[in-house]
Each structure stands twice: as structure tokens, then as C-alpha cells.
């Protein structure tokens, strides 16, 4: 069946360092979304990527969708304590959605 693998599962970084999480799908996706869940909170939509090779930026966050529409990445430049949380990708195909297992980001002060 369709799978969306997300790595790493955990990431500890010093405040100010960069962070990247990756999603890889076994099948071509129609689009991919990214969500952030703060500790004790609920997932919050960050962005959606639709086009092959698409790159979008939100301040320190850069999102990419691969040329084959099978992989995606989220890169955070110069992390801050407010970036703490779990980042999920969610791949869409054939009216189905599959969430990656998330990358839990911990910031060391």
C-alpha cells in the first residue's frame, strides 16, 4: 500500500543551527502538505506543495517538492525555541491522505 516515510524521527539541535526533515513516498503524490504540532497541541497547517520541483518559503522555513513528486523536505534556518514541535508531512493521492510519522524537533538552548 501507499506509504509516506519521514526521517529523522527525532532531531536535537542547538538553537541557531539549521534543521531539515524529509518525506519520501512509495508512489507519486498529487500534492503534499506540511503541519506543525507543538507539544500538547494540535497539528497546524503550514503549507501545501502541488507542482513538481516547487519551492516555497515562509520566513526561515523552506519547503521543497521533488521533481518526481515523490519526496519533499522542510528546512528551517537558524532554529529558535519557538520551532520546537513535531513536523508532519501529509501526502495526497487518489482522494487519500497519508501522514508521515513526524519528526520531533528539540531545541537545545
Chain residues that interact with other proteins, rule: CB under 8 A: 30-31, 33, 35, 37, 41-45, 48, 86, 88, 92, 95-99, 101-102, 104
Residue in 58, 62, 78, 66 with CA at minimum distance from that of residue 24: 66
Identify which of residues 46 and 77 has a Cβ nearer to other proteins in the complex: 46
Write out the three cell numbers for 38.
507543538
Minimum distance from residue 103 beta carbon to other proteins (Å): 10
The 3-state secondary structure of 63-96, one letter per residue: EEECCCCCEEEEEECCCCHHHCEEEEEEEEECCE
Number of H helices, E strands in the chain: 0, 11
Cβ nearer to other proteins, comparing 64 with 86: 86
Q: How far is the CB of 35 from other proteins (least distance, A)?
A: 8
* CB 2, min distance to other proteins, A: 12
Output the smallest distance, CB 37 to other proteins, in A. 8
Per the DSSP assignment, residues forming a β-bridge with 4 are: 25
Q: Which is nearer to other proteins, 24 or 77 (CB)?
A: 24
> In this complex, which beta carbon is closest to other proteins, that of residue 31 or of residue 62?
31
d(CA 74, CA 61): 7
Amino acid at each position: 500500500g501507499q506509504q509516506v516515510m519521514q526521517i529523522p524521527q527525532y532531531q536535537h539541535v542547538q538553537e541557531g543551527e539549521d534543521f531539515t526533515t524529509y518525506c519520501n513516498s512509495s508512489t507519486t503524490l498529487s500534492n503534499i502538505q506540511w503541519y506543525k504540532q507543538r507539544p500538547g497541541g494540535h497539528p497546524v497547517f503550514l503549507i501545501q506543495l502541488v507542482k513538481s520541483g516547487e519551492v516555497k518559503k515562509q520566513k526561515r522555513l523552506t519547503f521543497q517538492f521533488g521533481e518526481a513528486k515523490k519526496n519533499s523536505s522542510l528546512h528551517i534556518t537558524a532554529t529558535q525555541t519557538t520551532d520546537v514541535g513535531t513536523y508532519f508531512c501529509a501526502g495526497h493521492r487518489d482522494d487519500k491522505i497519508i501522514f508521515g510519522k513526524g519528526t520531533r524537533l528539540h531545541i537545545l538552548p
